Structure 1
Protein backbone atom coordinates (compact mmCIF):
# COMPACT_ATOMS: atom_id res chain seq x y z
CA UNK A 1 0.00 0.00 0.00
CA UNK A 2 1.12 3.54 -0.80
CA UNK A 3 0.05 6.34 1.55
CA UNK A 4 0.45 10.09 1.87
CA UNK A 5 -0.39 11.79 5.15
CA UNK A 6 -0.96 15.53 5.58
CA UNK A 7 0.98 16.72 2.54
CA UNK A 8 1.43 20.48 2.21
CA UNK A 9 3.08 22.42 -0.58
CA UNK A 10 3.27 26.16 -1.25
CA UNK A 11 4.79 28.32 -3.97
CA UNK A 12 5.66 31.91 -3.06
CA UNK A 13 3.20 31.97 -0.15
CA UNK A 14 0.41 30.46 -2.26
CA UNK A 15 -0.69 27.08 -0.94
CA UNK A 16 -1.11 24.53 -3.73
CA UNK A 17 -1.65 21.36 -1.68
CA UNK A 18 -3.21 21.50 1.79
CA UNK A 19 -3.27 18.61 4.27
CA UNK A 20 -3.71 16.03 1.52
CA UNK A 21 -4.22 12.40 2.49
CA UNK A 22 -4.14 9.62 -0.07
CA UNK A 23 -3.90 5.84 -0.06
CA UNK A 24 -3.61 3.28 -2.85
CA UNK A 25 -3.60 -0.47 -2.36
CA UNK A 26 -0.96 -2.63 -4.01
CA UNK A 27 -1.76 -3.34 -7.68
CA UNK A 28 -4.40 -0.59 -7.73
CA UNK A 29 -4.61 2.15 -10.33
CA UNK A 30 -5.44 5.57 -8.94
CA UNK A 31 -6.62 8.24 -11.35
CA UNK A 32 -5.79 11.78 -10.20
CA UNK A 33 -8.06 14.30 -11.90
CA UNK A 34 -8.89 17.97 -11.57
CA UNK A 35 -8.83 21.27 -13.46
CA UNK A 36 -5.69 23.07 -14.59
CA UNK A 37 -3.93 24.77 -11.69
CA UNK A 38 -5.38 22.40 -9.09
CA UNK A 39 -1.96 20.97 -8.25
CA UNK A 40 -2.11 17.56 -9.97
CA UNK A 41 1.35 17.77 -11.51
CA UNK A 42 2.78 19.38 -8.36
CA UNK A 43 1.43 16.42 -6.38
CA UNK A 44 3.06 14.00 -8.80
CA UNK A 45 6.37 15.85 -8.59
CA UNK A 46 6.28 15.69 -4.78
CA UNK A 47 5.55 11.95 -4.89
CA UNK A 48 8.41 11.30 -7.30
CA UNK A 49 10.92 13.46 -5.42
CA UNK A 50 11.23 16.03 -8.18
CA UNK A 51 9.70 18.77 -6.01
CA UNK A 52 10.29 19.56 -2.36
CA UNK A 53 7.29 19.91 -0.05
CA UNK A 54 6.60 21.84 3.13
CA UNK A 55 5.39 18.96 5.30
CA UNK A 56 3.89 15.50 5.08
CA UNK A 57 4.81 11.82 5.25
CA UNK A 58 5.07 9.10 2.60
CA UNK A 59 4.73 5.36 3.23
CA UNK A 60 5.05 2.17 1.19
CA UNK A 61 3.71 -0.96 2.90
CA UNK A 62 3.72 0.91 6.21
CA UNK A 63 7.38 1.94 5.94
CA UNK A 64 8.12 5.65 5.83
CA UNK A 65 10.36 6.81 3.00
CA UNK A 66 11.77 10.00 1.50
CA UNK A 67 10.76 10.47 -2.17
CA UNK A 68 13.88 12.55 -2.80
CA UNK A 69 16.21 9.72 -1.74
CA UNK A 70 17.64 8.56 -5.08
CA UNK A 71 19.21 5.49 -3.47
CA UNK A 72 15.80 3.83 -3.42
CA UNK A 73 14.23 3.16 -6.83
CA UNK A 74 10.77 2.74 -5.35
CA UNK A 75 8.91 5.14 -7.62
CA UNK A 76 9.17 5.55 -11.38
CA UNK A 77 7.70 8.32 -13.48
CA UNK A 78 6.55 8.53 -17.09
CA UNK A 79 6.74 12.17 -18.10
CA UNK A 80 4.22 14.01 -20.25
CA UNK A 81 6.94 14.83 -22.81
CA UNK A 82 8.42 11.30 -22.44
CA UNK A 83 11.77 12.63 -21.19
CA UNK A 84 13.83 10.51 -23.58
CA UNK A 85 17.44 11.47 -24.30
CA UNK A 86 17.45 12.57 -27.97
CA UNK A 87 21.10 11.57 -28.48
CA UNK A 88 20.57 7.98 -27.29
CA UNK A 89 18.98 5.04 -29.07
CA UNK A 90 15.94 3.28 -27.66
CA UNK A 91 18.04 0.52 -26.07
CA UNK A 92 20.49 3.02 -24.59
CA UNK A 93 17.66 5.16 -23.19
CA UNK A 94 16.30 2.09 -21.42
CA UNK A 95 19.57 0.63 -20.12
CA UNK A 96 21.34 3.80 -18.94
CA UNK A 97 19.73 4.07 -15.48
CA UNK A 98 19.88 0.34 -14.63
CA UNK A 99 23.63 0.44 -15.30
CA UNK A 100 24.31 3.71 -13.48
CA UNK A 101 21.89 3.40 -10.55
CA UNK A 102 21.29 -0.33 -10.12
CA UNK A 103 24.89 -1.16 -11.11
CA UNK A 104 23.85 -3.81 -13.61
CA UNK A 105 26.23 -4.96 -16.30
CA UNK A 106 25.53 -3.81 -19.84
CA UNK A 107 24.66 -7.39 -20.84
CA UNK A 108 22.24 -7.88 -17.95
CA UNK A 109 20.58 -4.50 -18.53
CA UNK A 110 20.18 -5.17 -22.25
CA UNK A 111 18.77 -8.66 -21.69
CA UNK A 112 16.12 -7.32 -19.30
CA UNK A 113 15.38 -4.40 -21.60
CA UNK A 114 14.87 -6.71 -24.57
CA UNK A 115 12.25 -8.73 -22.71
CA UNK A 116 10.34 -5.55 -21.90
CA UNK A 117 10.77 -4.24 -25.44
CA UNK A 118 9.24 -7.44 -26.79
CA UNK A 119 6.36 -7.30 -24.30
CA UNK A 120 5.42 -3.77 -25.35
CA UNK A 121 5.68 -4.46 -29.08
CA UNK A 122 8.78 -2.37 -29.70
CA UNK A 123 10.87 -5.12 -31.29
CA UNK A 124 12.96 -3.76 -34.17
CA UNK A 125 13.08 -0.25 -32.69
CA UNK A 126 16.10 -0.85 -30.45
CA UNK A 127 18.61 1.13 -32.51
CA UNK A 128 16.28 3.99 -33.47
CA UNK A 129 16.53 7.46 -31.96
CA UNK A 130 13.53 9.22 -30.36
CA UNK A 131 13.00 11.52 -33.37
CA UNK A 132 12.42 8.41 -35.50
CA UNK A 133 9.54 7.21 -33.32
CA UNK A 134 5.84 8.04 -33.28
CA UNK A 135 4.24 9.54 -30.18
CA UNK A 136 2.82 6.18 -29.16
CA UNK A 137 6.18 4.49 -29.58
CA UNK A 138 7.91 7.16 -27.48
CA UNK A 139 5.31 6.64 -24.77
CA UNK A 140 5.97 2.89 -24.76
CA UNK A 141 9.74 3.42 -24.62
CA UNK A 142 9.23 5.74 -21.64
CA UNK A 143 7.15 3.05 -19.91
CA UNK A 144 9.77 0.36 -20.65
CA UNK A 145 12.51 2.64 -19.31
CA UNK A 146 10.56 3.05 -16.08
CA UNK A 147 9.84 -0.68 -15.76
CA UNK A 148 13.54 -1.47 -16.21
CA UNK A 149 14.16 0.13 -12.80
CA UNK A 150 11.74 -2.31 -11.08
CA UNK A 151 9.72 0.34 -9.23
CA UNK A 152 6.94 -0.52 -6.80
CA UNK A 153 4.95 2.49 -8.02
CA UNK A 154 4.69 4.09 -11.45
CA UNK A 155 3.39 7.65 -11.83
CA UNK A 156 2.18 8.99 -15.18
CA UNK A 157 1.83 12.68 -16.00
CA UNK A 158 -0.91 13.12 -18.63
CA UNK A 159 0.01 9.90 -20.50
CA UNK A 160 -2.49 10.44 -23.32
CA UNK A 161 -2.28 14.22 -23.79
CA UNK A 162 -0.46 14.06 -27.15
CA UNK A 163 -2.06 10.86 -28.46
CA UNK A 164 -5.01 10.18 -30.71
CA UNK A 165 -7.92 8.07 -29.38
CA UNK A 166 -6.54 4.77 -30.75
CA UNK A 167 -3.11 5.30 -29.16
CA UNK A 168 -4.75 6.48 -25.93
CA UNK A 169 -6.62 3.19 -25.80
CA UNK A 170 -3.35 1.33 -26.39
CA UNK A 171 -1.64 3.13 -23.50
CA UNK A 172 -4.67 2.42 -21.32
CA UNK A 173 -4.35 -1.29 -22.10
CA UNK A 174 -0.65 -1.23 -21.18
CA UNK A 175 -1.47 0.41 -17.84
CA UNK A 176 -4.19 -2.17 -17.15
CA UNK A 177 -1.86 -5.06 -18.06
CA UNK A 178 0.80 -3.79 -15.65
CA UNK A 179 -1.58 -4.53 -12.76
CA UNK A 180 -0.48 -8.16 -13.20
CA UNK A 181 3.13 -7.20 -12.38
CA UNK A 182 2.39 -6.20 -8.77
CA UNK A 183 2.87 -2.51 -9.58
CA UNK A 184 0.79 0.27 -8.06
CA UNK A 185 0.06 3.03 -10.59
CA UNK A 186 -0.93 6.70 -10.22
CA UNK A 187 -2.20 8.43 -13.33
CA UNK A 188 -2.54 12.21 -13.51
CA UNK A 189 -4.92 13.08 -16.33
CA UNK A 190 -7.30 15.80 -17.45
CA UNK A 191 -9.25 13.14 -19.38
CA UNK A 192 -12.06 12.02 -17.07
CA UNK A 193 -13.22 9.34 -19.51
CA UNK A 194 -9.73 7.82 -19.66
CA UNK A 195 -9.47 7.94 -15.86
CA UNK A 196 -12.80 6.14 -15.49
CA UNK A 197 -11.75 3.43 -17.93
CA UNK A 198 -8.47 2.50 -16.25
CA UNK A 199 -8.78 3.47 -12.58
CA UNK A 200 -9.79 1.36 -9.61
CA UNK A 201 -10.51 4.61 -7.81
CA UNK A 202 -10.23 8.33 -8.54
CA UNK A 203 -8.81 11.18 -6.46
CA UNK A 204 -10.15 14.58 -7.44
CA UNK A 205 -7.78 17.48 -6.78
CA UNK A 206 -9.42 20.89 -6.44
CA UNK A 207 -7.87 24.35 -6.44
CA UNK A 208 -7.48 25.85 -2.96
Structure 2
Protein backbone atom coordinates (compact mmCIF):
# COMPACT_ATOMS: atom_id res chain seq x y z
CA UNK A 1 0.00 0.00 0.00
CA UNK A 2 2.73 2.44 0.99
CA UNK A 3 5.68 2.45 -1.40
CA UNK A 4 9.18 1.95 -0.01
CA UNK A 5 10.23 5.19 -1.70
CA UNK A 6 7.53 7.06 0.22
CA UNK A 7 8.69 5.62 3.53
CA UNK A 8 12.30 6.49 2.74
CA UNK A 9 11.24 9.99 1.75
CA UNK A 10 9.41 10.56 5.03
CA UNK A 11 12.27 9.06 7.04
CA UNK A 12 14.78 11.33 5.28
CA UNK A 13 12.69 14.43 5.92
CA UNK A 14 12.05 13.37 9.51
CA UNK A 15 15.79 12.94 10.08
CA UNK A 16 16.55 16.29 8.51
CA UNK A 17 13.92 18.02 10.64
CA UNK A 18 14.77 16.36 13.96
CA UNK A 19 18.51 16.99 13.53
CA UNK A 20 17.94 20.67 12.71
CA UNK A 21 17.90 22.69 15.94
CA UNK A 22 14.39 23.87 16.78
CA UNK A 23 12.03 24.39 19.74
CA UNK A 24 11.74 20.68 20.55
CA UNK A 25 15.49 20.02 20.54
CA UNK A 26 16.27 23.18 22.50
CA UNK A 27 13.69 22.35 25.17
CA UNK A 28 14.69 18.69 25.51
CA UNK A 29 18.41 19.39 25.60
CA UNK A 30 18.08 22.23 28.09
CA UNK A 31 15.99 20.08 30.44
CA UNK A 32 18.34 17.11 30.13
CA UNK A 33 21.44 19.17 30.85
CA UNK A 34 19.88 21.25 33.64
CA UNK A 35 17.58 18.74 35.36
CA UNK A 36 18.90 15.35 34.28
CA UNK A 37 18.05 12.55 31.86
CA UNK A 38 14.84 11.59 33.64
CA UNK A 39 13.46 15.10 33.16
CA UNK A 40 14.43 14.93 29.50
CA UNK A 41 12.62 11.61 29.02
CA UNK A 42 9.45 12.92 30.72
CA UNK A 43 9.56 16.01 28.52
CA UNK A 44 10.00 13.79 25.47
CA UNK A 45 6.82 11.96 26.45
CA UNK A 46 4.90 15.22 26.07
CA UNK A 47 6.57 15.88 22.73
CA UNK A 48 5.57 12.38 21.53
CA UNK A 49 1.92 12.98 22.45
CA UNK A 50 2.10 16.25 20.51
CA UNK A 51 3.19 14.30 17.42
CA UNK A 52 0.21 11.99 17.86
CA UNK A 53 -2.18 14.95 18.07
CA UNK A 54 -0.81 16.30 14.80
CA UNK A 55 -0.98 12.84 13.23
CA UNK A 56 -4.64 12.43 14.12
CA UNK A 57 -5.94 15.90 13.28
CA UNK A 58 -4.06 16.50 10.04
CA UNK A 59 -4.74 13.08 8.55
CA UNK A 60 -8.44 13.15 9.30
CA UNK A 61 -8.74 16.52 7.57
CA UNK A 62 -6.21 16.15 4.77
CA UNK A 63 -7.40 12.74 3.65
CA UNK A 64 -10.74 14.31 2.74
CA UNK A 65 -9.17 17.38 1.15
CA UNK A 66 -6.81 15.46 -1.11
CA UNK A 67 -9.56 13.22 -2.42
CA UNK A 68 -11.94 16.14 -3.01
CA UNK A 69 -9.39 18.66 -4.31
CA UNK A 70 -6.25 16.91 -5.64
CA UNK A 71 -5.05 20.24 -7.13
CA UNK A 72 -3.98 21.22 -3.62
CA UNK A 73 -1.07 18.82 -4.08
CA UNK A 74 0.93 21.37 -6.07
CA UNK A 75 0.35 24.16 -3.58
CA UNK A 76 1.31 21.97 -0.63
CA UNK A 77 4.37 20.63 -2.45
CA UNK A 78 5.67 24.13 -3.18
CA UNK A 79 4.98 25.27 0.39
CA UNK A 80 6.98 22.32 1.65
CA UNK A 81 9.85 23.07 -0.73
CA UNK A 82 9.97 26.70 0.40
CA UNK A 83 10.04 25.73 4.06
CA UNK A 84 12.78 23.16 3.52
CA UNK A 85 14.76 25.87 1.75
CA UNK A 86 14.22 28.17 4.72
CA UNK A 87 15.50 25.50 7.12
CA UNK A 88 18.50 24.87 4.86
CA UNK A 89 19.38 28.58 4.89
CA UNK A 90 19.11 28.75 8.68
CA UNK A 91 21.44 25.77 8.99
CA UNK A 92 24.02 27.12 6.53
CA UNK A 93 24.12 30.80 7.45
CA UNK A 94 27.02 31.99 9.62
CA UNK A 95 26.58 32.42 13.36
CA UNK A 96 24.16 30.82 15.77
CA UNK A 97 24.70 29.40 19.24
CA UNK A 98 24.80 25.72 20.09
CA UNK A 99 21.63 24.23 21.58
CA UNK A 100 23.92 22.21 23.86
CA UNK A 101 25.07 25.25 25.85
CA UNK A 102 23.93 24.90 29.51
CA UNK A 103 21.23 27.37 30.60
CA UNK A 104 19.95 28.53 33.97
CA UNK A 105 16.48 26.93 34.10
CA UNK A 106 14.47 26.20 37.28
CA UNK A 107 13.56 22.58 38.06
CA UNK A 108 9.95 21.60 37.35
CA UNK A 109 7.68 18.73 38.38
CA UNK A 110 7.19 15.72 36.03
CA UNK A 111 3.65 16.92 35.26
CA UNK A 112 4.87 20.35 34.22
CA UNK A 113 7.75 18.84 32.23
CA UNK A 114 5.31 16.64 30.31
CA UNK A 115 2.90 19.53 29.69
CA UNK A 116 5.67 21.85 28.55
CA UNK A 117 6.97 19.17 26.17
CA UNK A 118 3.47 18.76 24.74
CA UNK A 119 2.89 22.49 24.30
CA UNK A 120 6.35 23.07 22.85
CA UNK A 121 5.58 20.55 20.13
CA UNK A 122 2.00 21.69 19.46
CA UNK A 123 3.21 25.28 19.05
CA UNK A 124 6.22 24.29 16.95
CA UNK A 125 5.74 25.71 13.42
CA UNK A 126 8.31 23.26 12.04
CA UNK A 127 6.16 20.30 13.05
CA UNK A 128 2.94 21.89 11.85
CA UNK A 129 4.35 22.57 8.40
CA UNK A 130 5.87 19.09 8.20
CA UNK A 131 2.49 17.45 8.76
CA UNK A 132 0.56 19.89 6.59
CA UNK A 133 3.00 20.34 3.71
CA UNK A 134 5.67 17.63 3.62
CA UNK A 135 4.33 14.23 4.66
CA UNK A 136 1.05 14.45 2.62
CA UNK A 137 2.93 14.66 -0.68
CA UNK A 138 4.05 11.04 -0.25
CA UNK A 139 0.45 9.81 -0.15
CA UNK A 140 -0.47 8.02 -3.40
CA UNK A 141 -4.12 8.68 -4.23
CA UNK A 142 -4.17 5.96 -6.88
CA UNK A 143 -3.21 3.34 -4.29
CA UNK A 144 -6.34 4.04 -2.23
CA UNK A 145 -6.70 3.96 1.56
CA UNK A 146 -5.53 7.57 1.76
CA UNK A 147 -6.24 7.87 5.48
CA UNK A 148 -4.33 4.68 6.34
CA UNK A 149 -1.38 5.80 4.21
CA UNK A 150 -1.29 9.09 6.09
CA UNK A 151 -1.27 7.33 9.46
CA UNK A 152 1.46 4.88 8.42
CA UNK A 153 3.72 7.61 7.03
CA UNK A 154 3.09 9.79 10.07
CA UNK A 155 3.95 6.86 12.31
CA UNK A 156 7.30 6.54 10.50
CA UNK A 157 8.02 10.19 11.28
CA UNK A 158 7.11 9.73 14.95
CA UNK A 159 9.36 6.68 15.32
CA UNK A 160 12.31 8.54 13.79
CA UNK A 161 11.71 11.74 15.78
CA UNK A 162 11.22 10.02 19.14
CA UNK A 163 14.19 7.68 18.62
CA UNK A 164 16.57 10.47 17.67
CA UNK A 165 15.32 12.79 20.41
CA UNK A 166 15.66 10.02 22.99
CA UNK A 167 19.25 9.47 21.92
CA UNK A 168 19.90 13.21 22.20
CA UNK A 169 18.28 13.35 25.65
CA UNK A 170 20.39 10.46 26.95
CA UNK A 171 23.61 11.84 25.47
CA UNK A 172 22.99 15.59 25.95
CA UNK A 173 25.54 16.03 28.71
CA UNK A 174 28.28 14.19 26.87
CA UNK A 175 27.49 15.98 23.60
CA UNK A 176 27.64 19.36 25.34
CA UNK A 177 31.15 18.64 26.62
CA UNK A 178 32.28 17.22 23.27
CA UNK A 179 31.06 20.21 21.23
CA UNK A 180 32.45 22.71 23.74
CA UNK A 181 35.90 21.27 23.04
CA UNK A 182 35.43 20.77 19.28
CA UNK A 183 33.28 23.60 17.82
CA UNK A 184 34.27 22.62 14.28
CA UNK A 185 32.08 19.50 14.62
CA UNK A 186 29.04 21.67 15.29
CA UNK A 187 29.71 23.64 12.13
CA UNK A 188 30.10 20.41 10.14
CA UNK A 189 26.74 19.16 11.45
CA UNK A 190 25.05 22.39 10.39
CA UNK A 191 26.54 22.27 6.91
CA UNK A 192 25.64 18.61 6.40
CA UNK A 193 22.00 19.01 7.42
CA UNK A 194 21.68 22.29 5.52
CA UNK A 195 22.90 20.60 2.35
CA UNK A 196 20.50 17.66 2.77
CA UNK A 197 17.53 19.96 3.40
CA UNK A 198 18.48 22.17 0.47
CA UNK A 199 18.69 19.19 -1.88
CA UNK A 200 15.25 18.01 -0.75
CA UNK A 201 13.84 21.52 -1.30
CA UNK A 202 15.15 21.63 -4.88
CA UNK A 203 13.87 18.11 -5.57
CA UNK A 204 10.37 19.04 -4.44
CA UNK A 205 10.36 22.36 -6.32
CA UNK A 206 11.28 20.81 -9.69
CA UNK A 207 8.93 17.83 -9.35
CA UNK A 208 6.11 18.34 -11.86
CA UNK A 209 4.06 15.25 -11.02
CA UNK A 210 0.44 15.75 -10.04
CA UNK A 211 -1.61 13.02 -8.32
CA UNK A 212 -4.73 11.82 -10.09
CA UNK A 213 -8.09 12.23 -8.46
CA UNK A 214 -9.34 9.23 -6.59
CA UNK A 215 -12.26 7.45 -8.08
TM superposition score normalised by structure 1: 0.25
More helix by share: 2
1 or 2 for the larger relative contact order (CA 8 Å, sep ≥6)? Answer: 2
| Greater Cα radius of gyration, structure 1 or 2 | 2
* Bigger proportion of residues as strand: 1
TM-score normalised by length of structure 2: 0.24
